[in-house]
Every structure is written in C-alpha cells, then in structure tokens.
Amino acid sequence: MTAPDRERTTDPPGTPLLELRGISKRFGAVQALTEVQFEVSAGEVVALVGDNGAGKSTLIKIISGIYRPDHGTIRWKGREVAMSTPNDSGALGIATVYQDLALCDNLDVVGNLFLGRELAWPGGPLGVMDEMTMERRAVEVLRRLSVKIPSVRIPIASLSGGQRQSVAVARSVMGDNQVVLLDEPTAALGMAQTHEVLELIKRLRGQGLGVVLISHNLANVYEVADRITVLRLGRWVGVYDARKTSREQLIAFMTGAVPGTAEVPMVSGGVTGDRTGAS
Amino acid sequence: MSSTLEHDPRVIAERTGVAGVLRAYGRQLRQGDVGQLPVLVGLVVIWTIFEIAADGRFITPFNLVNLTLQMAAGGTISVGLVLVLLLGEIDLSAGVVSGLCAAIMGVLSVSVGLPGPVAAGLALLVGAAVGTFQGAWVTRFGIPSFVVTLAGLIGWQGAMLHVLGRTGTLNLRDPFIISLTGTFFTGAGSYLCLAVFVAYVAIGPIVTYRRRAAAGLAVPPLAFVAVRAVAVGAFATAAVVALDADRGVSSGLLFLISAVIIVDFVLRRVRLGRMIFAIGGNAEAARRAGIPVQRVRIVVFMLASTFAALGGILSASRGFMVNQSAGGGPVLLNAIAAAVIGGVSLFGGRGSVWGALLGTIVIQSISNGMDLLSLSSSIKFMITGGVLLTTVTIDAVLRRSRTVAR
C-alpha cells in the first residue's frame, strides 16, 4: 500500500515543508544544539534519532515553538518564519503529539478531538456546541485514518494505550496541520498496539502529511521512516536514507564510532550536550 | 494517492441495540461511573423509611411542599458548588457568602430603605465580586482554593457580622423579597412550569434522537429514550399534582429548577461547560489546547459565589429575616454533601448538576424526615454525617477501581 509513497518521497521534490538551518540553542553553560539542520517534506516520515542528551527534545521544542533558537533560520514552505510561541507553530500547521498525549480522560473521543476548538454558534466561550457536526467529522477523521475504537462517545479513560495514542494523533490532523511531530509514540505500547500506531503513521504519510518521528526504538524507525536524521551531543551528524543505511551504521553514527556526513569534530571541553530533559 | 486508502465501514464499531446499551452501562459501572442509579435507590429507601416511621406523614402534599421550600436555598448553593467541584477545586466560603449577601440585602432593604429588587440585585453583585476576588487570588498566586476560601469562610463571616452591626436580626417586609420564595403557582401556572420542565428533560432527548437518526449517527434504542422520557415525565407530573393538592409549586423551587436547567445546559452544550470539564479532567491538556484555564477558573468562582448569594437571598426570603447565623452551621456542608451524594467527584471532571439536585433532595429529605420524627439535632448531624461519609467513600472506592481498571 505504501510502496508508491515511498518511491515518491525518498527524494522529495521541490521545497521541503519545514526546513531548519544552522540551529543553535544554549541553556546557561550547556550548549544544547550546535548548527543543527533538519527538514521534512510532504508525504514523508523523517525519524529523529540520537542517544540520550543528543538534543532531540530541544529540537522538537524549537519546532513546536516552545523554545526560540539562539541562531539559525526556520523556513516554512521556503519562507522564513519566526516562531516564538506554540501558537505560532500551530498557526503554520505544525502539530505536536507529546509523550503524555495531553488528552482529557473524562471527555469522550469527540470532545478530545475538538478540545479547544469546538464547533459552536455563536463563537466565543458561550457558543452552543454543534455536537452532531463534530461527531460526524470525528468519525470521518477516524475512518480516514482507520483508527479502531468502540465508539466516538466513549470516554478516553476506557481506551487502550494504542487507542489513546491514535486519538492523540488523529487530533493532530484535525486542523489543517501539515506536519505532525510524534514524540516517542510507541514507548509505552505493547506489540499489537505499536503495530497499530506505526500503521497510522504510514497512513498519515499516505495522506501527504510530513511526519517527524522521535523514537529510541530503531526497529520502529526502520519500519516507517523514509529518512533518518541523526543527532549526537547536540550536533547534527547527518541525514540518511532508511533503505540504504544499515542499523549497524546508524548506531555507529549515533554513538560517534564513525564520523557522520557532517564530520562532527570530537567533543572537547565545554560541549556537554542536551541536559534539558529526557529526550 | 487516495486510492490507497481503504475505507472500512466497520472500523468504528458503534454498538447499537438493547445489548449494546446494557454493555455500555456495564462498562460505565466498571469504570466507576455509576450514574444516578444509586442515589435514586437511596432516595426510595429514605422516603420509604420515613413514610413508615412517621406514620404516613412524610409523603403528603403538605410535607412535600415544605420539602421543596427547604430545598430551594441549599440546592441553589449546591448548583454553584458543582461548577467549582468539576474544576477539581472547592469553595468553602459558599455558606458564609450566602449569609453575607443576605445580610447586605437585608440592610439595604430594611435599614437603607432601597426597593427589594435593587437590594437583591446589589447583593447578587456583591456575591459575584466576592467570587471574582477569590478566583483571582487562587489563580494569581497559585494558592489552593481550599486555603483561599477557608480564609474567605472566616473573613466573610466577619464581614457579615460587621454589616449586620448591632441589629442582630433584620425582619424583612419588602413584598418583592418575600415573593421570591413565597409565591405559589397552582392550576394552570403549575402545569405551565411542568410543561417547560418536561419539554427540556423528556422531549429534548427525543428531539436529539430524531435529529441524530436523521443524520445517520449512532443512536441508542428508541425504547430506552422513550422509557426514560415517560418515567421522568410521569414523575414530574405526579410531583406537580401532589404539590397542587397543597399550596402548589413555590417560586423558590422554580428558582432552583431553573438554575439546574440553565447550568446543565451550559455544562453539556456550551463551550464554557466543555472547558470546565476539560480543566477538571486534565488542566495541562486544556491549557495546551488553548483553553484560557485561569480565566475559566475565575469565572467559575464568580458563578459559584453568585449562586451562593442567590441561595442566601432565597433563604432570607423564606424565613422573612436575616440574622447573625445566616449561612452558618450546616449550610455549606449540606451543599457540598448534596453535590457529592449526587455523584459529583471531589477530584474534578466528573458529575452533573442533576446529581446535585438529587443529592439536595436526599439531604433535605433526611433533615425533613428527622424533624417529623422530632429527633434532636445531635442525632440529625450524626446521621447526615454518616450519609455523607458513605457516599464520599463510594466515590473514592469507585475511583480507585477506575484507575486500576485502566
């Protein structure tokens, strides 16, 4: 099913949707990112890998507008943009699904999919919600993504981990979002549920979205990613074609056993990598 | 590209039919969402006990009208508390704020000589201001609402004593204020009220059912919707017929039911209500979804205190007076107890205002029944405490099973 998509996306034509160049970010004495490059195009899955402290989290937070880079440019569809708040990134069409999913357990699936952007008339907090249209659209989106849940009127609390992850991902494509960032989407899932989520990622690509996958699990990365961006100690190692790079090579790039495309100089002195959180 | 997408109509397996509804209810029970069934059962038990113990004096038109009058003030305070509880917050000042606002209305009406509507309106405004102040304090400084409203509980009590001054008891004579709870609707008037109530509670769901069915959305079996509508309609009709046999439907009861219906509508159908549930369920998720969490919190504290003020006004209207004990004693705890008995979770995000109404009926039935039996207030307090402890325990235990079940 995904073969034609892979064909098209291995070498993305034209301008990438999102393009970061020369991104640096410093937290006090810690140089979290140094001259990092990243790009993702429509209809491809780009994995972002690296050992703990490689700077994945910092980069994700820059893309989602939580942090501002100290240096470097961010281009959206070729146009340079400034992102200083999560709203800026959301307005461009970038959605982030964090590890904690940020779902309200007590609300049903429809309520969560439309959380914060309920269809209501008149607008504003006192608008009366149009539950029927919201439900119809929710069903549409879930069908489009082939998400299997017992009912859209079921509270999130009664869904499995994989189903919750799927709902969180579905929410990220509810707006006109074109790039979806998934932070460790399979970390807490069993095998069947992991499979479910990976299939969902392939469907997002199939629908022309740019997907950024952050994962520790290289098996998952190889199953869905078209290209793999490697970070190490806050520096950009390189971006590799998932089909042409073996897992051993990738691990060598991640650990620094082999210098990457960027010819990373050996770390000396102050560069200690990303200490801003578990990536 | 779209040809690669396979639309499988079965992926969202909406279970329909009788079995589906039963299974859904079973799932709800397992998750600790027991709905209103236990309260209804408890209410039947309580009414039966009192009817037998009081030799048939409990379920009489006269006593039922008294019960509705007793419910109005506490029930209204409870409605406001539901909003706060849904956020996972608490308002301990609701009782004394009701007393403070009643005192302000009394002083404005009796001592200052303002017309009743003006005095009552200003008292409501003071309630709103008090709530806004407390809500702003909670959100601005990040202090738990328990502490802020505990300070309010003490401080507003002092404010009320200050407002009443040396007068002690103010006797209300303003016809408007007296009429707030002292107006009774009988005959056509009471049946008009009944019609509005049944339209919202019983016919509303049927209309929704038809619209959903017409739009091709999943619907519960028509039999369930119909049975529920008939049951609610029959109960409401029986209640109105019984009340009509005595003095009729009091305006105090109408205030309470209107408050319940309006707040229920806001909670279920209006965006603000969805925001309140979302914040109570996961405040961080709500914040990330762009919901103005702090502003919603302030609004909710404002509404809660305004409903408390309304409750205080109704209480004063019913008693024809305000004195230094207004809003004190069991008023606050009964209002919280009513909400909790009605299934409103103290941990936020779960509950309905109908539950608070049922809880109010339970609390006031116990109080009323024990008065009929001429039990001393020592016994009354102990029994009410026992009922509250039991229901909060049920809530906690069910919540634990809900977490474990995940």
CA terminus-to-terminus distance, chain B: 38
The string of DSSP codes covering A184-202 is STTTT--HHHHHHHHHHHH
* C-beta atoms of A125 and B275 within 8 A: yes
The string of DSSP codes covering B138-151 is HHHHT--HHHHHHH
pLDDT of residue B36: 72
Joined tokens for residue B363: 């609390």
- Strands A71-76 and A18-27, how do they pair? antiparallel
Interface of A with B in 199-228 (CB under 8 A): 203, 206-208
**Residue B162 at interface with chain A, using a CB cutoff of 8 Å:** no
Query: How open is the CA angle B363-B366-B367, to the nearest 5 degrees?
Result: 85
* E strands, B255-320, in order: none
pLDDT of residue A278: 39
Q: What is the pLDDT of residues B20-37, one digit of tens each?
A: 666 666 666 655 555 677
* pLDDT over 70 (residue A217): yes
pLDDT mean over B81-105? 96
B402 CA: distance to closest CA in chain A (Å): 9
Calculated CA dihedral for residues B29, B39, B90, B392, nearest 10 degrees: -70
Question: Is B228 contained in some domain?
Answer: no
pLDDT of residue A198: 93
Burial class (CB in 10 A: 0-12, 13-18, 19+), A2: middle
Distances (CA, A) of B91 to B145, B147, B161: 7, 9, 20
Count structural domains, chain B.
1
Q: How far apart are CA A265 and CA A271, in angstroms?
A: 11
Interface of A with B in 58-117 (CB under 8 A): 86-87, 100-107, 111, 115-117
Please check whether residue A258 is in contact with residue A245, taking contact to mean a CB–CB distance below 8 angstroms: no
**Residue B22 at interface with chain A, using a CB cutoff of 8 Å:** no
* C-beta atoms of A104 and B215 within 8 A: no
* C-beta atoms of B270 and A120 within 8 A: yes
Closest chain A residue to the Cα of B213, Cα to Cα: A132
| Residues 6+ positions from B35 with CB-CB distance below 8 Å | B25, B28, B343
Please check whether residue A41 is in contact with residue A76, taking contact to mean a CB–CB distance below 8 angstroms: no
Residue with tokens 């006593």: B63
Question: Is B191 contained in some domain?
Answer: no
Closest chain A residue to the Cα of B212, Cα to Cα: A132
Q: How far apart are CA A201 and CA A185, in angstroms?
A: 10
Give percent of chain A with pLDDT exceeding 90. 50
pLDDT of residue B329: 79
A107 CA: distance to closest CA in chain B (Å): 7
Q: How far apart are CA B357 and CA A54, in angstroms?
A: 56
Q: How far apart are CA B222 and CA B227, in angstroms?
A: 8
DSSP state of B110: I
B-chain residues near A103 (CB < 8 A): 282, 285
Where helices occur in chain A by DSSP H, the ranges are 3-9, 56-63, 86-92, 109-113, 131-144, 161-172, 191-206, 218-224, 247-255
Question: Is B109 contained in some domain?
Answer: yes
* C-beta atoms of A148 and B12 within 8 A: yes
Best CA proximity match to B264, nearest among B78, B31, B127: B78
* pLDDT over 90 (residue A226): yes
Q: How far apart are CA A1 and CA A202, in angstroms?
A: 9
**Residue B210 at interface with chain A, using a CB cutoff of 8 Å:** no
Q: How far apart are CA A216 and CA B112, in angstroms?
A: 73
Q: Which amino acid is at A208?
A: G
Joined tokens for residue B1: 């590209």
- Strands A30-40 and A18-27, how do they pair? antiparallel
Q: To probe the interface with B, which of A104, A130, A183 has the most B CB atoms within 10 Å?
A: A104
pLDDT of residue A112: 95
Long-range contacts of B19-28 (CB under 8 A, 24+ apart): B21/B220, B21/B221, B21/B224, B24/A151, B27/A154, B27/A158
Q: What is the ipTM metric for this complex?
A: 0.85
**Residue B286 at interface with chain A, using a CB cutoff of 8 Å:** yes
Question: Is B181 contained in some domain?
Answer: yes
Task: Look up the pTM and report it.
Answer: 0.86
Joined tokens for residue B225: 């919707």
Give chain A's domains with CATH numbers.
Answer: 1-93+178-279 (3.40.50.300), 104-176 (no CATH)
Joined tokens for residue A276: 């801003």
Please check whether residue A274 is in contact with residue A58, taking contact to mean a CB–CB distance below 8 angstroms: yes
Joined tokens for residue B184: 């009774």
Q: Which member of A126, A136, A142 has the closest CB to residue B270? A: A126
Highest mean pLDDT pick, A28-32, A58-62, B200-204, B310-314: B310-314
Question: Is B119 contained in some domain?
Answer: yes
Joined tokens for residue B320: 């024809």
pLDDT of residue B86: 97
Q: What is the pLDDT of residues B246-293, one digit of tens each?
A: 999 999 999 999 999 999 999 999 999 999 999 999 999 999 888 999
Question: Is B69 contained in some domain?
Answer: yes
Q: Which member of A106, A152, A158 has the closest CB to residue B281? A: A106
Q: The domain that contains B59 carries what CATH number?
A: 1.10.3470
Please check whether residue B326 is in contact with residue B333, taking contact to mean a CB–CB distance below 8 angstroms: no
Where helices occur in B142-248 by DSSP H, the ranges are 145-164, 175-182, 188-198, 204-214, 222-244
pLDDT of residue A13: 54
* C-beta atoms of A155 and B31 within 8 A: yes
pLDDT of residue B333: 87
pLDDT of residue B30: 59
Q: To probe the interface with B, which of A89, A117, A136, A151 has the most B CB atoms within 10 Å?
A: A151
B151 CA: distance to closest CA in chain A (Å): 30
Q: Which member of B7, B12, B289 has the closest CB to residue A116? A: B289
Distances (CA, A) of B31 to A154, B298, B350, B395: 11, 31, 12, 11
Long-range contacts of B211-220 (CB under 8 A, 24+ apart): B211/A132, B212/A132, B215/A132, B215/A136, B217/A132, B217/A135, B217/A136, B217/A139, B218/A151, B218/A153, B218/B14, B218/B16, B219/B16, B220/B16, B220/B21
Q: To probe the interface with A, which of B3, B5, B400, B404 has the most A CB atoms within 10 Å?
A: B5
Question: Is B376 contained in some domain?
Answer: yes
Q: Give the pLDDT band (50/70/90) at residue A175.
A: confident
Question: Is B56 contained in some domain?
Answer: yes
Q: What is the pLDDT of residues A76-124, one digit of tens each?
A: 998 999 888 878 888 899 998 988 888 999 999 999 999 988 999 888 8
Please check whether residue A193 is in contact with residue A223, taking contact to mean a CB–CB distance below 8 angstroms: no
To which H or E segment does residue A211 belong?
strand A210-214
Give percent of chain B with pLDDT exceeding 70. 89
* C-beta atoms of B290 and A116 within 8 A: yes
| Structural domain containing residue B288 | 37-186+247-393
**Residue A185 at interface with chain B, using a CB cutoff of 8 Å:** no
Please check whether residue A166 is in contact with residue A195, taking contact to mean a CB–CB distance below 8 angstroms: no
Best CA proximity match to B311, nearest among B82, B113, B109, B38: B82
Joined tokens for residue B185: 């609707």
